[in-house]
Amino acid sequence: MLSSMLVSGLITGTFYALMALGLTMIFGVLRIVNFAHGEFYMIGGFAYVLLYHNLGVPIAVALPAAVLAGGTLGWIVEKLLIRPIYAEFGGRQQGRDEYAIIVTFALSILLIAAMTKIVGPWSLQGPRLIDGPPLLLAGVRVSPHQIAALGIALAFLFGTLYLLNYSLWGRQIRAVAQNRSAAAVMGVDVGKVSTIVFATAGGLAALAGALLSNMISPSPDVGAFPAIKSYVIIVLGGLGSPLGALIGGLLLGVIESLGAIYISFSYRDTYGLALLVLVLLLRPNGLFGETRREV
């Protein structure tokens, strides 16, 4: 029982981590929280489901298209709404925070409302990646679809982490996160990096939305909880820390799944808040925080 709960917690946690990774990358590079992150997830889920059901696009095309939709949205949002932050506020963090919170929160509501107008308030279940009889994995019954979704999520998760740490591209992103002006001096186009990071984050969240669309059917407001969980995770892991997003995601998945059996299933979404309070109380910089508490 315990081991099977651990496994199912780790599976859920992987998808959480996928969302939180993009969010923490955005925070690292731009020092802002994207409060519309759940809507990238939602757009990914709907792109996947609608392409498959309404246009008959095969899954092998619909899934990359969903990632692309999230990435494109991230690209546009950064260019149109986030870019002015650096042009207008200079080094003034307060003005930047105000603008970022207001604009991304408004964007989140706008995207939910617009999607409700377009497809209605209902939820639509996404297709399975592969069909087949369930398998037993460490005592947990998992469908081949879940295994495939998990595999893709893991590949993207570790692929992104690998690139961030070992590729020139990733090192440049980390350079911008650590020292924006020094990165510009050495020849990195910080504006372009910000756009790329936003697009990557959008794509990763959209991927999570598409992969989970069979288990959690997308509706316009489906993104709220995945987003709140990724906020908890990035605080838990340390704002701006990619490794922290991974560990934090897995940890939250496991805690929720343990809480679901030992405390109460219907309140499983609330354990994140308890965890958040504990982290703020005991280790406010998070597990892997690189950021200083006071600038």
Partner 1 sequence: MSAILQIENVTAGYSADIDILRGLSLNVRKSSVTGLVGLNGAGKSTVMKSIFGFLRPRVGRILFDEQDITHGRPHELASKGLWLIPQDGGLFDYMSVETNLRLPIETRRAVNGLSRAEIDRRVADVMEQFPILQEKRRQLATRLSGGQRKLLEFGIAHVQRPTLCLIDEPSIGLAPKVAEEVFAHISTLAKTGTSVLLVDHNIRKVIEVASYVYVLTLGTVSAEGESSVFQTDLHGQVKEWLGINY
Partner 2 sequence: MASRVSSLRRPAAPTSRTQLLVALAILAALAPLPSLGLEIYWQGVVITSLYYALLASNWNLLAGYTGLFSLAPAGFAMLGAYVTALLWTYAGVEPWLGIPAGAIVCAIVGLVIGVLTLRLSGPYLALTTLALAEILRVIVLNSFDITRGEIGLQVPALFAHQSSYYYMFLVAVGGFLIGLHWLLGQPCGLYLRAIRNDETGARARGVRTVFWKVFAFSVSSGLSGLAGALFAHYVIIVSPSIGHLLVTGLVMSMVVLGGMGTLLGPLVGALLVNVSSEYLRAAGDYQHIVFPIVVILFARFCREGLVGRAAMIFNARVGTQARSGAKATEVLASP
For tokens 């701006």, the residue is 240
Applying CB under 8 A, which of residues 60, 136, 168, 281 lies at the interface with partner 1?
168
Tell whether residue 31 is a contact of partner 1 (CB under 8 A): no
Least distance from partner 1 to the Cβ atom of residue 81, Å: 21
Nearer to partner 2 (CB atom), residue 17 or residue 112? 112
Q: Is 2 exposed, middle or buried (0-12, 13-18, 19+ CB in 10 A)?
A: exposed
Applying CB under 8 A, which of residues 1, 60, 136, 185 lies at the interface with partner 1?
185
Nearer to partner 2 (CB atom), residue 90 or residue 132? 90
The per-type count for the chain, helices as H runs and strands as E runs, is: 12, 2
Summarize as ranges the residues that interact with partner 2 (CB under 8 A): 32-33, 35, 81, 84, 89-92, 94-95, 97-99, 101-103, 105-107, 109-110, 112-114, 116-117, 224-225, 228, 231-232, 235, 239, 266-267, 269-270, 272-273, 276-277, 280-281, 284, 291, 293-295
Tell whether residue 171 is a contact of partner 1 (CB under 8 A): yes
DSSP state at residue 79: I
CA 267 vs CA 203, 213, 259, 271, 274: distances in Å: 30, 22, 8, 7, 11
Specify the stretch interacting with partner 1 by CB under 8 A; choose among 11-19, 186-194, 205-213, 261-269.
186-194
Contact assessment for residue 226 and residue 38, using Cβ atoms and an 8 Å cutoff = yes
3-class SS shares of the chain: helix, strand, coil, % to 5: 75, 0, 25
Interacting residues toward partner 1 by CB under 8 A:
90, 168, 171-172, 174-175, 178-179, 181-190, 290
